[in-house]
């Protein structure tokens, strides 16, 4: 059985009078299929579809101790292609990117996997996986106030959305979050940051798991978890007229 979620709603797909009888479907409700596992797929008949391809979210770095901190994993990119003609005699390949795996204690996080949609007559759509978060030591004297894992990219769509950045903060106290520390004797305190968001949601809060497709896991911080959470897996959504 294919792994997907079925939904429905009012018609919102673009009209195309050049496609003959397909244009008669413009006023019908549309179906949403959300694919959560890699597979091949063909529509039941010719359809005009909107396609959304989101990669897997990145995971945060992991602490050596609960006094260290890490940036959240970044969110995945999403490629969006509108008004695509899909045919029942064409087999389309859907690859779903995994979320970045939980990091080993003291190490950086893991990037999420890319998701792709491809087939004859359709440009390959890629939602890039979110990037890995990093770990910062509480006694670091590095000259920065925060660090971030850049969001995943996307390609092939009419709209290519970049994922949100996973972030962590450094300051001399919780009141000084974001203040740069430059050399000197003051011991910086690392604060956990949020995971990056995706097309599907805003990203995980600090020290929290991701809960939507393509989101980065929340970073760990002082008195936080020694290991962060995995990033959330990607997904492909296809909307078409009933």
**pLDDT tens track for 208-227:** 888 999 999 887 765 445 56
Q: How much is the pLDDT for 15?
A: 37
178 or 149, which is more confident: 149
Give mean pLDDT, residues 141-151.
Answer: 54
Asked whether the beta carbons of 81 and 51 are under 8 A apart, the reply is yes
Q: Is the pLDDT of residue 204 over 60?
A: yes
Q: How many CB atoms lie within 10 A of CB 186?
A: 13
Q: How far is CA 108 from the centre of its chain?
A: 18
Structure tokens at 182: 């430059």
d(CA 110, CA 233): 12
- What are φ and ψ of residue 24, in 5° steps? -70, -15
Q: Is the pLDDT of residue 42 over 60?
A: yes
Q: How much is the pLDDT for 12?
A: 35
Q: With bands split at pLDDT 50, 70 and 90, how would you rate the model's confidence at 83?
A: very high
Q: How much is the pLDDT for 1?
A: 38
d(CA 186, CA 151): 32
Q: What is the 3-state secondary structure (H, E, C) of the chain?
A: CCCEEEEEECCCCCCCHHHHHHHHHCCCCEEEEEECCCEEECCCCCEEEEEEEECCCCCCCCCCCCCCEECCCCCCCEEEEEEEEECCCCCEEEECCCCCCCCCCCCCCCCCCCEEEEECCEEEEEECCCCCCCEECCCCCCCCCEEEECCCCEECCCEEECCCCEEEEEECCHHHCCCCCCCCCCCCEEECCCCCCECCECCCCCCCCCCCCCCCCCCCCCCCCCCCCCCCCCEEEEEEEC
DSSP β-bridge partners for residue 205: none
Closest C-alpha among 154, 152, 191 to residue 171 = 191
d(CA 159, CA 77): 11
Q: How much is the pLDDT for 123?
A: 93
pLDDT digits (tens, 9 = 90+) for 93-104: 999 999 998 887
Q: Is the pLDDT of residue 7 over 70?
A: no
Give mean pLDDT, residues 75-87.
Answer: 95
pLDDT digits (tens, 9 = 90+) for 129-141: 998 877 665 554 4
Q: Is the pLDDT of residue 240 over 70?
A: yes
Asked whether the beta carbons of 241 and 47 are under 8 A apart, the reply is yes
Give mean pLDDT, residues 200-205.
Answer: 87
Structure tokens at 180: 């740069």
Q: Is the pLDDT of residue 201 over 80?
A: yes
pLDDT digits (tens, 9 = 90+) for 45-75: 999 999 999 999 998 877 665 555 667 788 9
pLDDT digits (tens, 9 = 90+) for 154-193: 999 999 999 988 876 655 444 333 333 334 434 555 566 7
Q: How much is the pLDDT for 228?
A: 72
């Amino acid at each position: 059985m294919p792994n997907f979620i079925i939904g429905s709603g009012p018609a919102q797909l673009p009209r195309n009078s050049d496609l003959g009888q397909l244009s008669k479907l413009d006023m019908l409700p549309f179906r949403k299929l959300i694919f959560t596992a890699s597979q091949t797929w063909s529509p039941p008949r010719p359809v005009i579809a909107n396609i959304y391809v989101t990669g897997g979210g990145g995971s945060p770095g992991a602490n050596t101790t609960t006094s260290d901190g890490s940036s959240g994993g970044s969110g995945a990119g999403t490629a969006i292609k509108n008004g695509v003609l899909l045919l029942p005699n064409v087999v389309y390949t859907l690859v779903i990117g995994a979320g970045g795996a939980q990091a080993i204690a003291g190490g950086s996080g893991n990037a999420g996997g890319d998701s792709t949609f491809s087939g004859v007559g359709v440009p390959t759509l890629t939602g890039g996986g979110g990037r890995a978060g990093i770990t910062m030591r509480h006694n670091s004297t590095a000259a920065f106030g925060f660090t971030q894992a850049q969001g995943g990219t996307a390609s092939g769509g009419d709209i290519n959305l970049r994922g949100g950045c996973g972030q962590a903060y450094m300051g001399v106290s919780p009141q000084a979050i974001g203040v740069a520390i430059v050399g000197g004797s003051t011991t910086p305190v690392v604060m956990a940051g949020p995971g990056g968001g995706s097309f599907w949601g805003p990203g995980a809060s600090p020290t929290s798991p991701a809960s939507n497709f393509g989101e980065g896991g929340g970073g760990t911080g002082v008195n936080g978890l020694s290991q962060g959470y995995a990033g959330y897996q990607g997904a492909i959504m296809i909307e078409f007229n009933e």
